[in-house]
């Protein structure tokens, strides 16, 4: 029995490129497709999760939203890797700095992704799994950032299950050098590891947990555009 369409993606493997960019927001996926891709076509809209495939500099690239949080990212990335023959997923999203050395509007790349999630329990490991990105994607991305003249910081992210953290413990992760908090990378990295596929998270610092600083709508748009361009330039080199 075929595994597609799924309850979440009404498409076939031929509809997707081998590399998929995944912002959290469906409208941002639409913006990327309309702004950067040539001949972009809508390939999925189930539950309002817009997915598009087009070309960037002649290379097929897809972009589809992941939704918010690890459960949502886990569903979409699992299906893309295992049912739709996608090889590479690059998350492009926002994050909140929890490190005094990481400033608002900085671009950060998750070499690893700590988490408070119990997502890894499904694997029955009897220990703690350390979710990490794919080295080839990381190296390609950092090399590309240098070529584009974009400053990036590489290190650990913290993937939290809670956006509103009642314990106030989020900032403690910064004491161990963790750069920023977001909500999807750890699940993406674990799904990629299990499927023997590739994953990378590139995030823009949109606010600072320690100082309360935040970007305006216009500033977020400009910074997000740099992140999108970095991800697209990386994608065409894979």
- Mind listing the pLDDT tens digit for each residue in 40-57? 999 999 998 999 999 999
Give the pLDDT band (50/70/90) at residue 133. very high
**Quick one: 179 exposed, middle or buried, by C-beta within 10 A (0-12, 13-18, 19+)?**
buried
Helix (H, G, I), strand (E, B) or coil at 214: strand
Q: What is the pLDDT of residue 168?
A: 80
Give the pLDDT band (50/70/90) at residue 215. confident
pTM: 0.95
Residue of 15, 101, 207, 226 with catalytic role: 207
207 annotated active-site: yes
Assess whether pLDDT exceeds 90 at residue 35.
yes
Helix (H, G, I), strand (E, B) or coil at 38: strand
- Where do runs of H (alpha helix) occur along the chain? 26-36, 70-83, 135-148, 185-195, 217-235
pLDDT tens, position by position, 165-210: 888 889 899 999 999 999 999 999 999 999 999 999 999 999 998 9
């Amino acid at each position: 029995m075929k595994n597609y369409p799924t309850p979440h993606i009404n498409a076939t493997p031929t509809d997707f490129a081998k590399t998929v960019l995944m912002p959290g927001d469906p409208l941002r996926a639409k913006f990327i497709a309309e702004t950067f891709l040539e001949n972009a076509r809508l390939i999925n809209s189930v539950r309002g999760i817009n997915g598009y495939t087009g070309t960037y500099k002649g290379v097929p690239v897809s972009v589809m939203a992941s939704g918010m949080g690890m459960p949502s990212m886990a569903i979409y990335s699992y299906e893309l890797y295992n049912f739709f023959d996608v090889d590479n997923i690059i998350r492009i999203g926002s994050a909140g700095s929890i490190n005094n050395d990481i400033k608002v509007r900085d671009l950060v790349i998750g070499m690893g992704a700590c988490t408070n999630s119990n997502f890894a329990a499904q694997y029955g490991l009897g220990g703690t799994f350390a979710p990490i990105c794919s080295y080839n994607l990381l190296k390609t991305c950092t090399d590309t950032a240098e070529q584009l003249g974009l400053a990036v910081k590489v290190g650990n992210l913290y993937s939290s299950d809670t956006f509103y953290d009642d314990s106030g413990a989020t900032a403690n992760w910064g004491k161990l050098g963790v750069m920023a908090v977001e909500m999807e990378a750890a699940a993406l990295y674990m799904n990629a590891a299990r499927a023997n596929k590739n994953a990378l998270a590139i995030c823009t610092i949109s606010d600072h947990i320690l100082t309360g600083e935040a970007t305006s709508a216009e500033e977020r748009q400009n910074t997000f555009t740099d992140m999108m361009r970095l991800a697209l330039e990386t994608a065409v080199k894979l």
